[in-house]
Amino acid sequence: MSTETNTAPEERRYRVLAEHSEMGRSTVDLRCPFCEARVTAYKWSLAGGGKRCTCGAKFTSLGTSVKR
């Protein structure tokens, strides 16, 4: 009997809803492709380690979201 599990993360493209630019506080509003939540992220956060949604998906600066 095989106990193989699918551990490969799922990757989907997210949608940018709005962009806001203020000195040092540039943000983007994103739509999570997994749970459809609206997420606000600092641009520097996306460029660095990424931003997480409450469902666990991680947004990257490349326009994708990854969920394990």
Average pLDDT over residues 40-65: 94
Return the pLDDT at 6: 66
**Domain assignment of residue 36, yes or no:** yes
pLDDT range class, residue 13, cuts 50, 70, 90 = very high
Q: What is the pTM of this model?
A: 0.81
Rounded distance between C-alpha atoms, residue 53 and residue 18, angstroms: 17
What single-letter amino acid sits at 65? S
Per the domain annotation, does 3 fall within a domain? no
Q: What is the DSSP string of the chain?
A: -------PPEEEE-EEEEEE--TT--EEEEE-TTT--EEEEEHHHHHTT-EE-TTS-EE-TTSEEEE-
Which residue is associated with the tokens 């997994």? 34
Number of domains in the chain: 1
Cα 16 from Cα 38, distance rounded (Å): 10
- Residue 14 domain flag: yes
Range of 45's domain? 10-67
